[in-house]
Structure 1
């Protein structure tokens, strides 16, 4: 399959996420993309929430696929992970043409710092990068009690200049091939301070464990970055029904940690009100080279 940028047809964008195909962030993004009339829109997203699954893939078992109705877009719900969805969407099995750009999101809550490693949203974009397709992951810094569902539409509209800039570079064959982009949008996205190129920081939510008596105890499960999302969807398990000596534990948040003192990191810039744009890759050559320059117990390690 050939990409459409550079031809007379509209560029094609494929959308995925980790919050599920019915998530308000994805629906707002698709609605905004379709409403511009500038793009062909494809959707290949999980059929249920897959937050914080990182880059896991389905290997031994088949995944089920169901076509769904999303106005203006060709859409499929997949039983697999975000990485599965991107891979399947790019395989040529579902869509007649390959996308020019893959967008993963809009995620409910930000994906900055070390949380990029956990993020299924980022993995959806990274999988496209693995396959040589330009990609963008989008996350909105949702704050309970402050944010509302309309903010996703504002966030999607705020991302259009980035989308158009990427498509223009793809058309001109100037888009960088060694990275994909992770974009985080601030809580007050309607009054953002502009777009800021940042680097991945070291921000992380400190997480502990608490013993519980049932799977439903505590009410909420972890989701990417804010660690607050929908209640458990698995069937309830009671500790009394477990074999002797078995116990149940659940994660709980204990505040935010990490080093936040650098001005150009993603999380700090996001909290200052900027839309952060962070280039990400998948190789560790820079870190490897830095390591090779350091002695280890008096012995230099060579590749």
Structure 2
């Protein structure tokens, strides 16, 4: 695909450092690059749509728009309204500040942006840069910037099904230490990292702040979490169908046919 029209989005907001990395990656692939991103941070927004408030659009550059909504809103508006003469050939979402592996993908706004592009019939890729949970941790944006475009170029040459999006996670390692790309499956953590931190305001009223904390994990070989923990770039094909076929087949033999009665 020569000089594809690329739409960029994210969930960290249009002013996010990761979007600048994504622009660098896209510039290696095309000179026809557009941006439709949330005006403010929307981390954890998942596939949410803004249904009860009007959406506002602010033009920040000739091909860049800030939308007062979620990543899903931004991609939908970018494709259907803001880019008028030709729809994008590719949607890139990210580069997220932090990994999107294992169960993260179910609430990730970064993955949701790519999923909306896929739903609109456009090849779509989510990109995330893993970093440490330690305070003041350094984020290695140069890793995504170094490996992003070559991997995307290879993916575009190979192609993938229309109902699949690609989820790429770059490990928290020095560039010289990263020697492998691993095609992975979505993993699952054996310990939760999302938690509700209980606090008390000056009036003595309790409130909660949702956050993340590091926890030891024992991921399975071949999954996305295992790859990035081992210093490998994880490339995971994802799709929307959440049906668990083994259980589907088992229950079909029990509940198929006439419904049970009292």
TM superposition score category, shorter chain reference: 0.7 to 0.9
Runs of 4+ in 1 over 6 A off after TM superposition: none
The alignment covers a number of residue pairs equal to 253
Q: Does 1:47 align with 2:39?
A: yes
Does the 8 Å CA contact 1:147/1:187 hold for their aligned counterparts? no
- The 5-angstrom pairing of residues 210-289 of structure 1 reads 210-214=197-201, 239=203, 247-251=206-210, 253=212, 255-256=214-215, 260=219, 262-285=220-243, 287=244, 289=245
Does the 8 Å CA contact 1:102/1:128 hold for their aligned counterparts? yes
What value does the CA root-mean-square deviation take over the aligned residues?
Answer: 2.4
SS in 2 for 1:163: helix
CA displacement 1:220-245 (0-9 Å, x = unmatched): xxxxxxxxxxxxxxxxxx545xxxxx
Does the 8 Å CA contact 1:202/1:258 hold for their aligned counterparts? no
SS in 2 for 1:196: strand
Q: 1:292 aligns with which of 248, 251, 255?
A: 248
Cα gap change, 1:76/1:263 in structure 2, threshold over 3 Å: closer, same or farther? Answer: same
CA displacement 1:158-193 (0-9 Å, x = unmatched): 011222123334xxxx53223111000001151312
CA distance in 2, matches of 1:66, 1:284: 36
TM-score by length of 2: 0.87
CA distance in 1, matches of 2:186, 2:25: 28
Which residue does 1:115 correspond to in 2? 104
Which residue does 1:185 correspond to in 2? 170
Cα gap change, 1:103/1:252 in structure 2, threshold over 3 Å: closer, same or farther? Answer: closer
What's the CA shift for 1:97?
Answer: 1.9
Does the 8 Å CA contact 1:14/1:102 hold for their aligned counterparts? yes
User: Gaps spanning 5+ residues in structure 2: where?
Assistant: 258-262
Q: 2:16 aligns with which of 1, 23, 26?
A: 23
What's the CA shift for 1:51?
Answer: 0.6
CA distance in 1, matches of 2:67, 2:127: 20
- The 5-angstrom pairing of residues 50-129 of structure 1 reads 50-69=42-61, 74-129=63-118
Does the 8 Å CA contact 2:5/2:89 hold for their aligned counterparts? yes
Cα gap change, 1:129/1:257 in structure 2, threshold over 3 Å: closer, same or farther? Answer: farther
SS in 1 for 2:51: coil
User: Gaps spanning 5+ residues in structure 1: where?
Assistant: 215-237, 241-245
CA distance in 2, matches of 1:54, 1:142: 20
TM-score by length of 1: 0.76
CA distance in 2, matches of 1:253, 1:136: 24
